[in-house]
Amino acid sequence: MKKLLKYLKNYKKELIFGPFFKLLEAIFELIVPFVMANIIDKGIAGGDTAYILKMCGVIVILGICGLGFALTCQYLAAKCAYGFGTELRRAMYSHINSLSHSSVDKIGTASLVNRLTNDTNTVQNGVNMFIRLAVRAPFLVIGAAVMAVTIDVKLSLIFFIAAPLISAIIFVIMRKTVPMYKKTQQNLDRAALLTRENIEGTRVIRAFSRQQEEIREFGTAVDDIAESSIAVGKISAILNPAAFMIMNLGIVAIVWFGGVRIDAGNLTQGELTAFTNYMTQILLALVVLANLIVTFTKAFASANRVSEVFDLPPEENGSLSPSGSGVNIIEFRNVSFAYDGAGDSSVRGLSFELKAGEMLGIIGGTGSGKSTAAALIPCFYRATEGEVLVDGANVLDWDRDVLRSMIGFVPQKTVLFTGTVRENMRWRKADASDEEIVAALKTAQAWEFVEKMPDGLDTFIAQGGRNLSGGQKQRIAIARALVGAPKIIILDDSTSALDYATDLRLRKAINEDMEGTTVIMISQRTTSLKDADKIIVMDDGEPAGIGTHEELLLGCGVYREIYDSQMNEKEGN
């Protein structure tokens, strides 16, 4: 929680004056029983109507002033809490965007979303309640106890018996519920993960008619949330009845022993009334304090989860901006890579050189390390062994923005964003002209369908490109990577939805229109890679062969097997 306090630095005034006005309200509230005692002992006992009306006016004034102080505090608390929440979310979102792929993988996307929304909201509520009640509740307990002692020391012993009993109940309940709140948040993460997967994979779920199974799994997840929440609720529900039971028994004891002391002439009726009010104030303040502790417990649990995100180190960034200093545009020197927590390396002992303008093909079975090897070039992940060089310099020494501005990357999973075609096409180059966009679309074989759309470049793309076919999404994603003429293009199995004729036209267009650009194409099709200057055949994370199409057909059994299976499949069709 301490790490998050810096986001309150712009709200120091609210942090000071908010509790101050709440303190004034509490002081006025403590004066009311004293005024009531005087009304009973002096006004009612003496039949002085003028005095009664005057003191009733004092109570009204105290109430109006207390209301004004309370509203002022509420305003300051809201301004501080929501301002704090806004700055916290902004900083957290900025930090998440600075994380490396490895850091994001540690927590997971669903959990990050939950922490950015739900947990920050809980911390925000904690700040709000702190300003409103953290000073008021303890002050009321202490102030009422002091006022009670000034009225009658012996009778106030009832306070000092009831208060520890309620405090003990609060302590026991808090001790049991604190771990449960963390479990509830974890269950929320699980439900968020399932929600994300089911919404994104709704077409796959329907294709396999898995709706009922997914509904049952999600039902189990939300049942877990309900069970953990109910378990906490059952324990917390003991608090109010137990506290009010002790409070009412305390009031009974005060009235009983107070009546005895009134008969003995040691206490007046007005003082007994004031004493009863102070007892009620103390015990109600303790209940409020208990609920405040519950809120703080949730806030601290959420603050720890938020802090875990801030504890993840941002992606390390070099400062170099090399340009044309190397013979090879890309070079791998005995590179190996293993994901965090993985039992084995995904890539092992990979070495190759690629000159500017050449085309590199990468092929292999599922899980052979093709995409992982490509992700090392823009430094999405850091090689665990060996070196990856771009333009003669280690990618770790590059300024990340400079490095990635050289690379047009098309991921295996096509990602388009809500907005127009033009807006999506300007992701690599914000000021790209329509001529540049159209040229890129033509190279990617996408202009043929974009120009037929009613609004052309202004055609709206729904979330995730759901109003486009798989092939259309892939071609727009490829065109987006081509805008701005990057020095390196990485196509990570991004032509899988294209037919052979379109695939051929695309490769031919890239070769003609992007002359001098280095192309790295990952594909499952040998026909897509046969014209490559160099092909790497990956097998279980290791290079099974490196060479041209003809060389690999003769010297690499894995490549020959892939080629023969695809040729037989085409012949069978």
How does pLDDT run along the chain (573 residues), one tens digit per residue?
Answer: 678 888 998 998 998 999 999 889 888 888 888 888 888 888 887 788 888 888 889 889 988 998 999 999 999 999 999 999 999 999 999 999 888 888 888 888 878 888 898 889 989 999 998 888 888 888 888 888 888 888 888 888 887 788 788 778 877 877 777 777 777 777 877 887 788 777 767 767 777 777 888 888 888 888 888 888 888 777 777 777 887 788 788 888 888 888 888 888 788 888 888 888 887 887 778 778 777 877 887 888 888 889 989 998 888 777 666 655 556 789 999 999 988 776 688 899 999 999 988 999 999 888 888 989 999 999 888 898 999 999 888 888 888 888 888 899 998 888 888 889 999 999 888 889 999 999 999 999 999 899 988 888 999 988 778 888 888 999 999 999 999 889 999 998 888 888 888 888 988 998 888 888 899 999 888 888 888 999 999 988 899 999 999 999 988 888 998 888 887 655 444
Q: Is the residue at 224 inside a domain?
A: yes
pTM for this structure? 0.73
**Claim to verify: residue 370 and residue 398 sit in the same structural domain:** yes
Amino acid at 60: V
CATH number at residue 526: 3.40.50.300
CA distances from 72 to 22, 54, 140, 230, 232 (A): 8, 27, 19, 36, 34
Q: Is the residue at 319 inside a domain?
A: no
**Claim to verify: residue 307 and residue 396 sit in the same structural domain:** no
**Claim to verify: residue 348 and residue 300 sit in the same structural domain:** no
**Claim to verify: residue 258 and residue 294 sit in the same structural domain:** yes
Q: Is the residue at 317 inside a domain?
A: no
| 25 within 8 A of 140, measured Cβ to Cβ | no
> Total structural domains in the chain?
2
Q: Is the residue at 318 inside a domain?
A: no
**Claim to verify: residue 232 and residue 288 sit in the same structural domain:** yes
Q: Burial code of 10-31, b = ≥16 C-beta within 10 A, e = fewer?
A: ebeebbeebbebbbbbbbbbbb
**Claim to verify: residue 378 and residue 503 sit in the same structural domain:** yes
**Claim to verify: residue 149 and residue 118 sit in the same structural domain:** yes
Residue length, the chain?
573
Max Cα-Cα span within the chain: 118
Domain that holds residue 537: 330-572
CATH number at residue 212: 1.20.1560.10
| 27 within 8 A of 143, measured Cβ to Cβ | yes
**Claim to verify: residue 291 and residue 376 sit in the same structural domain:** no
Sheet holding 488-492, edge to edge: 407-410, 488-492, 518-522, 359-364, 534-539, 542-547
Which of 246, 281, 311 is the last residue in one of the domains? 311
**Claim to verify: residue 258 and residue 404 sit in the same structural domain:** no
Residue 116: count of CB within 10 angstroms of its CB: 17
The half-sphere exposure of 171 on its side-chain side, counting CA atoms within 13 A, is 6
**Claim to verify: residue 97 and residue 11 sit in the same structural domain:** yes
Burial level of 455, CB count in 10 A (0-12/13-18/19+)?
A: exposed
Q: Is the residue at 323 inside a domain?
A: no
